[in-house]
């Protein structure tokens, strides 16, 4: 008989429903029932294995030229975990996060690398409402915003840079915003947005951010990530925001209603 | 024989490998092989059925009080599509997008509702690199940033608002940034960040954004979404950014290097 000629019912009768269930359970890695997939994606932390920060940074650097900053950070980590662990990383749709590019579809808001890091850390460790063992997703994400704002970027030097081969200008953005981060670098380097140098710079920023995120995730995996959230704007200034109000407001800082 | 007493090999021998394959293929909705799951999540557009904007807005309003703005927008749409269609919506991990709250972990960058709308439209319709039939994911997302900036928000009035029951102040943010959007509303309403009125306002903004996104997705589904990207900062001003430079820069607008 051809494998097309029997019905599901016939097959279940022939082998017994319990047997089918056992196959489904035993084939394991190859098959995920919806119920199992739900458990895998909806239960945190997701399985994580420590990664090599430099290898991750290389992957992010190269992925930038395919899917740009935000998706490159997510891809550099998830592609390795898909290989080492499998689901839920294998089926996670990374490419749509290309929209994080240019501060969300080019609007210059949050740097995609910082956004991608926040999304990746929260996907892996979990949303802060999922329980105390998931709180570090938010913490690592938030503290990467601070690191991003304060660090002379890019830190990471790729093995085969596509531009800035001799040296690269490094600038602190004092902000997690794409527009301010890239604008300050463009001014210091005197390079336009469309230049190979600016593209290499942003690819290196993605690589640097992926490197930092993997360092933090590895520390978390080892139970050694002990930082708390370093900046809680709502508490400090009564409104969401970054730390340095004068950077945009000058001396004319509005007061939030009490 | 108990269903624990036979090995996978015995069962395969008993029924024939082809038969097992047929079961796996035929059980269909209940089982997703990794290969199939990969196709489902990695092939765009994802299946979409038209949704009711008002029902979606209600869901987003209520979800705000559980997962805040960004995840509420995604959840309001994905929860309905999970029910109507199933995968890949059922297994998509929505809750980690709670980190979009307060402009990404409270840092006041992009409004989570706008970010959630961009992520949802790109997940459903696809990344712009996936082919011409996927370009509207980016377009709808980008144009929602413009709509968000220009509209007196919140537009949507929930059935059972938790505050602002008589009336609510509506403000145009002139920006997709959380800090500016919520700051302008707080100033006009004279309400602090922690007030029930401000929370209701942001929940209504999530609801309004979900409403708008479903209108656009429904038009796209009908082949009637004909808009192109309305704002390409890189072309217009040589740097990523929003449209109204003077809003932050005043008259002192830097020029991007050429």
Quick check: A33 pLDDT over 60?
no
Does the residue B30 lie in any domain?
A: yes
Cα A121 to Cα A127: distance, rounded to the nearest angstrom = 9
ipTM (interface predicted TM): 0.86
Q: pLDDT per residue over A71-118, tens digit each?
A: 999 999 999 999 999 999 999 999 999 999 999 999 999 999 999 999
Does the residue B2 lie in any domain?
A: no
Does the residue A238 lie in any domain?
A: no
Q: How many helices (H) and strands (E) does chain B have?
A: 10, 1
Please check whether residue B88 touches A, CB under 8 A. yes
Instruction: Say whether both A206 and A112 belong to one domain.
Output: yes
Quick check: B222 pLDDT over 90?
yes
**pLDDT at res. B28:** 36
**pLDDT at res. B22:** 39
Q: pLDDT per residue over B53-74, tens digit each?
A: 999 999 999 999 999 999 999 9
**For residue A73, which of A213, A217, A221 has the smallest C-alpha distance?**
A213
Does the residue B249 lie in any domain?
A: no
Cα A81 to Cα A49: distance, rounded to the nearest angstrom = 7
Q: Tokens for B227, please give them.
A: 């808009």
Instruction: Say whether both A161 and A224 belong to one domain.
Output: yes
**pLDDT at res. A4:** 37
**pLDDT at res. B239:** 98
HSE-up of A191 (CA within 13 Å, CB side)? Answer: 18
Domain of residue B37: give its range: 8-42
How many separate domains does chain A show? 2
Cα B110 to Cα B149: distance, rounded to the nearest angstrom = 11
Q: What long-range pairs does B14-19 form, CB within 8 A, spacing at least 24?
A: B14/A15, B14/A19, B15/A11, B15/A14, B15/A15, B15/A19, B16/A3, B18/A3, B19/A3, B19/A6, B19/A11, B19/A14, B19/A15
Name the band, by pLDDT with cuts 50, 70 and 90, for residue B40.
Answer: confident
Quick check: B12 pLDDT over 60?
no
Cα A2 to Cα A136: distance, rounded to the nearest angstrom = 54
Chain B, 195 to 234: residues with Cβ < 8 Å from chain A are: 229, 231-234
Please check whether residue A239 touches B, CB under 8 A. yes
Partners of residue B171 on adjacent β-strands: B153
Does the residue A256 lie in any domain?
A: no
Among A99, A120, A256, most B C-beta atoms within 10 A, so best to mutate, is: A99
DSSP class of residue A133 equals: G
Instruction: Say whether both B22 and B142 belong to one domain.
Output: no
Q: pLDDT per residue over B24-34, tens digit each?
A: 333 333 344 44
Quick check: B23 pLDDT over 50?
no
Contact by Cβ (8 Å): A177, A110:
yes
DSSP class of residue B60 equals: H
Q: pLDDT per residue over B229-240, tens digit each?
A: 999 999 999 999
A68 Rama class: left (phi>0) / alpha (psi -120 to 50) / beta: left
Torsion angle defined by CA atoms of residues B34, B39, B40 and B41, in that order, rounded to the nearest 10 degrees: 90
- Chain A residues within 8 A of B107 when measuring between CB atoms: 110, 142, 145, 176, 231, 233, 240-242
Cα R_g (chain B), whole angstroms: 22
- Using DSSP's 3-state secondary structure scheme, residue A177 falls into strand
Instruction: Say whether both A83 and A25 belong to one domain.
Output: no
Size of interface A-B (CB pairs under 8 A): 322
Name the band, by pLDDT with cuts 50, 70 and 90, for residue A126.
Answer: very high
**pLDDT at res. B34:** 47
Instruction: Say whether both A156 and A96 belong to one domain.
Output: yes
Does the residue A248 lie in any domain?
A: no
CB contact under 8 A, B193 and A240: yes
Instruction: Say whether both B70 and B196 belong to one domain.
Output: yes
**pLDDT at res. A40:** 76
Cα B153 to Cα B189: distance, rounded to the nearest angstrom = 12
Q: pLDDT per residue over A199-223, tens digit each?
A: 999 999 999 999 999 999 999 999 9
Instruction: Say whether both B120 and B72 belong to one domain.
Output: yes
Quick check: B215 pLDDT over 90?
yes
Does the residue B237 lie in any domain?
A: no
Name the band, by pLDDT with cuts 50, 70 and 90, for residue B41.
Answer: confident
Among A65, A105, A143, A243, most B C-beta atoms within 10 A, so best to mutate, is: A105
Cα A61 to Cα A39: distance, rounded to the nearest angstrom = 33
H-type alpha helices, B85-191: 112-125, 135-150, 178-189
Cα A154 to Cα A156: distance, rounded to the nearest angstrom = 6
Cα A98 to Cα A79: distance, rounded to the nearest angstrom = 15
**pLDDT at res. B249:** 93
Among A14, A104, A178, most B C-beta atoms within 10 A, so best to mutate, is: A104
Contact by Cβ (8 Å): A225, A193:
no
Cα B158 to Cα A229: distance, rounded to the nearest angstrom = 34
Instruction: Say whether both B85 and B168 belong to one domain.
Output: yes
CA dist list (Å): A126 to A47, A78, A89, B67, B159: 11, 15, 14, 12, 32
Pick the range with the lowest mean pLDDT from A5-19, B109-123, B191-205, B227-241: A5-19
CB contact under 8 A, A193 and B238: yes
Name the band, by pLDDT with cuts 50, 70 and 90, for residue A3.
Answer: very low
Name the band, by pLDDT with cuts 50, 70 and 90, for residue A38.
Answer: very low
Torsion angle defined by CA atoms of residues A147, B185, B160 and B219, in that order, rounded to the nearest 10 degrees: -80
Q: Could you give phi then psi for residue A173, rounded to 5 degrees? A: -85, -25
CB contact under 8 A, B142 and A106: yes
Cα B193 to Cα B208: distance, rounded to the nearest angstrom = 20
Instruction: Say whether both B24 and B95 belong to one domain.
Output: no
Cα A230 to Cα A112: distance, rounded to the nearest angstrom = 21
Instruction: Say whether both A98 and A130 belong to one domain.
Output: yes
Q: pLDDT per residue over A163-203, tens digit each?
A: 999 999 999 999 999 999 999 999 999 999 999 999 999 99
Using CB atoms, which residue from B15, B42, B182 is nearest to A93?
B42
CB contact under 8 A, A127 and B98: yes
CB contact under 8 A, A96 and B88: no
The percent of residues above 70 in pLDDT, for chain A, comes to 85
Does the residue A2 lie in any domain?
A: no
Q: What is the mean pLDDT of chain B?
A: 88
Cα B40 to Cα B33: distance, rounded to the nearest angstrom = 10
Instruction: Say whether both B36 and B142 belong to one domain.
Output: no
Instruction: Say whether both A128 and A177 belong to one domain.
Output: yes
């Amino acid at each position: 008989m051809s494998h097309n000629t029997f019905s599901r019912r016939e097959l279940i009768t022939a082998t017994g429903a319990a047997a089918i269930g056992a196959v489904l359970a035993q084939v394991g890695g190859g098959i995920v029932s919806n119920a199992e997939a739900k458990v895998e994606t909806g239960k945190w932390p997701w399985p994580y294995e420590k990664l090599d920060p430099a290898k991750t940074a290389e992957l992010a650097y190269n992925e930038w030229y395919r899917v740009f900053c935000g998706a490159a950070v997510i891809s550099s980590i998830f592609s390795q975990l898909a290989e080492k662990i499998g689901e839920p990383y294998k089926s996670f749709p990374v490419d749509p996060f290309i929209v994080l590019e240019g501060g969300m579809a080019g609007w210059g808001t949050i740097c995609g690398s910082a956004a991608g890091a926040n999304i990746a850390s929260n996907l892996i460790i979990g949303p802060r409402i999922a329980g105390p063992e998931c709180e570090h997703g938010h913490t690592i994400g938030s503290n990467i915003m601070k690191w991003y704002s304060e660090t002379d970027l890019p830190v990471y030097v790729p093995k085969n840079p596509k531009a800035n081969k001799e040296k690269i200008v490094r600038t602190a953005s004092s902000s997690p915003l794409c527009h301010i981060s890239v604008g300050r670098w463009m001014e210091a380097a005197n390079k336009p947005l469309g230049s190979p140098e600016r593209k290499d710079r942003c690819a290196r920023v993605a690589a640097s951010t992926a490197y930092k995120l993997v360092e933090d995730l590895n520390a978390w995996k080892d139970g050694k990530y002990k930082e708390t959230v370093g900046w809680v704007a709502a508490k400090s200034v009564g409104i969401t925001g970054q730390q340095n109000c004068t950077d945009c407001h000058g001396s004319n800082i509005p007061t939030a209603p009490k």
